[in-house]
């Protein structure tokens, strides 16, 4: 073999070896990437089931898992060869179908999670007005009966044998504190500066329903014993204090079955949904 031919042959071998090494490196990197995608997909899919993660964060985790799965399938040579330029449309279509399939069970799980909460915060919707100089006002239910308080801010506006109602204005927002007990003085619900807590025992609190600005609580008998809605400078309030010899603070929405519910029940099916026939 002539020397120039020998040199060209050696150069070709070097290029060939370089291409083989590059191919092997790319293959190794691709396998490592596929393994990573598989681990991420499995971990982020199974993780929420084992740790009691709230449904919102579970959805984020499952989204990450799905993106890892799509990335894995996207880079498979067979998939790319078969689908060609249509693989983007296929990925979007499959994702839409998946979202449609899981929407209902996720919505149900979200409602169930919200309904099982035993604490939360009442937040009045902003009406764009300045209520700094307003007096804290208690409105009995949705009636025109109101009680404004201009006394000592540390004193309760109303007090029974065991429970009380305390209102105060802070930076133009009204804050409510109160308690509701059963006939044995067991605490059913407590509100401290708009932060509410209800008993986790169904013997004391059979069910409750709520929105951002409203809370309704049923006692162990299934009777409504507390209704609250917080406005910027007014608290709409109805209650039945069994521990205080049957005291009732209500107006017009009370019958033999007690205070008429403003929400639908059970809350696991109708979380945050008001009963349009109530008022």
pLDDT tens digits for range 35-94? 777 777 777 777 777 667 788 888 888 888 888 888 777 776 555 555 556 777 877 888
| Contact residues for 87 (Cβ-Cβ < 8 A; gap 6+) | 74, 79, 80
Sign for the pseudo-dihedral over CA of 42, 43, 47, 48: negative
- Average pLDDT of the segment spanning 241-259: 61
Are 107 and 126 found together in one domain?
Answer: no
| Contact residues for 145 (Cβ-Cβ < 8 A; gap 6+) | 139, 251
- Strand 146-148 relative to strand 234-241, pairing: unpaired
Are 110 and 162 found together in one domain?
Answer: no
- Average pLDDT of the segment spanning 221-236: 93
- In terms of Cα–Cα distance, which of 19, 249, 41 is closest to 138? 249
d(CA 62, CA 43) in angstroms, rounded, equals 9
Are 265 and 156 found together in one domain?
Answer: yes
Are 125 and 149 found together in one domain?
Answer: yes
User: Three-state DSSP class for 150?
Assistant: coil
Q: What percent of the chain clears pLDDT 90, i.e. is strictly above it?
A: 34
Are 80 and 128 found together in one domain?
Answer: no
The residue with greater pLDDT, 154 or 273, is: 273
Sign for the pseudo-dihedral over CA of 89, 94, 95, 99: positive
The residue with greater pLDDT, 211 or 80, is: 211
| pLDDT, mean over the chain | 81
The pLDDT-based confidence of 16 (bands split at 50, 70, 90) is low
d(CA 62, CA 148) in angstroms, rounded, equals 50
The residue with greater pLDDT, 229 or 49, is: 229
Residue 153 is predicted with a pLDDT of 67
- Give the ranges where 75-180 is alpha helix by DSSP (H): 77-83, 87-116
Boundary of a domain, candidates 116, 136, 151: 116
User: Distances from the Cα of 223 to the Cαs of 209, 255, 261, 266, 269, in angstroms?
Assistant: 13, 11, 9, 13, 19
Per-residue model confidence as pLDDT tens digits over 142-197:
666 677 766 666 777 666 667 888 999 998 999 999 999 888 888 999 999 999 99
Instruction: Decide: 66 and 95 in contact? Cβ < 8 Å.
Output: yes
Residue 262 is predicted with a pLDDT of 92
Boundary of a domain, candidates 58, 93, 116: 116
Residue 118 is predicted with a pLDDT of 95
- In terms of Cα–Cα distance, which of 108, 34, 104, 115 is closest to 74? 34
| Contact residues for 95 (Cβ-Cβ < 8 A; gap 6+) | 66, 70
User: Both tokens of residue 142?
Assistant: 């949705």
| Contact residues for 258 (Cβ-Cβ < 8 A; gap 6+) | 223, 224, 225, 240
User: Three-state DSSP class for 174?
Assistant: strand
Boundary of a domain, candidates 116, 134, 155: 116
Are 107 and 212 found together in one domain?
Answer: no
Q: How many CB atoms lie within 10 A of CB 6?
A: 10
Residue 183 is predicted with a pLDDT of 83
Residue 271 is predicted with a pLDDT of 95
Q: How many domains does the chain have?
A: 2
Are 94 and 62 found together in one domain?
Answer: yes
- In terms of Cα–Cα distance, which of 256, 244, 248 is closest to 181? 244
Residue 30 is predicted with a pLDDT of 64
Are 134 and 205 found together in one domain?
Answer: yes
Are 147 and 52 found together in one domain?
Answer: no
Does residue 277 lie in a domain region? no
Residue 80 is predicted with a pLDDT of 56
Instruction: Identify the domain containing residue 80 by its residue range.
Output: 3-116
Q: How many CB atoms lie within 10 A of CB 241?
A: 24
Residue 64 is predicted with a pLDDT of 87
Are 47 and 176 found together in one domain?
Answer: no
Max CA-CA distance within the chain?
116
- In terms of Cα–Cα distance, which of 156, 221, 157 is closest to 183? 221
Sign for the pseudo-dihedral over CA of 4, 7, 11, 13: positive
| Contact residues for 7 (Cβ-Cβ < 8 A; gap 6+) | none
- Average pLDDT of the segment spanning 192-204: 94
Does residue 71 lie in a domain region? yes
Residue 145 is predicted with a pLDDT of 67
Residue 43 is predicted with a pLDDT of 75
């Amino acid at each position: 073999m002539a020397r120039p031919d020998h040199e060209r042959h050696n150069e070709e071998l070097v290029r060939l070896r370089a291409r083989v090494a590059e191919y092997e490196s790319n293959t190794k990197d691709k396998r490592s990437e596929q393994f990573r995608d598989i681990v991420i997909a499995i971990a982020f899919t199974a993780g929420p089931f084992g740790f009691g993660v709230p449904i919102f964060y579970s959805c984020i985790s499952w989204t990450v898992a799905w993106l890892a799965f799509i990335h894995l399938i996207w880079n498979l040579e067979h998939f790319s060869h078969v689908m060609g330029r249509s693989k983007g449309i296929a990925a979007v279509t499959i994702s839409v179908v998946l979202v449609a399939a899981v929407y209902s069970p996720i919505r149900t799980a979200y409602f169930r999670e919200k309904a099982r909460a035993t604490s939360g915060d009442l937040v009045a919707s902003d009406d764009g007005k300045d209520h700094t100089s307003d007096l804290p006002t208690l409105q009995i239910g949705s009636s025109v009966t109101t009680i404004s308080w201009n006394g000592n801010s540390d004193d309760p506006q109303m007090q029974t044998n065991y429970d009380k109602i305390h209102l105060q204005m802070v930076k133009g927002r009204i804050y409510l504190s109160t308690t509701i007990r059963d006939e044995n003085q067991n605490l059913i619900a407590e509100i401290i500066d708009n932060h509410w807590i209800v008993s986790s025992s169904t013997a004391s609190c059979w069910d409750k329903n709520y929105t951002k600005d409203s809370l309704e609580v049923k006692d162990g008998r299934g009777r409504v014993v507390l209704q609250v809605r917080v406005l910027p400078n007014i608290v709409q309030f109805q209650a039945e204090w069994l521990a205080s010899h049957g005291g009732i603070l209500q107006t017009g929405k009370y019958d033999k079955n007690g205070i008429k519910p403003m929400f639908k029940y059970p809350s696991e099916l109708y979380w945050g949904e008001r009963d349009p026939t109530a008022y």
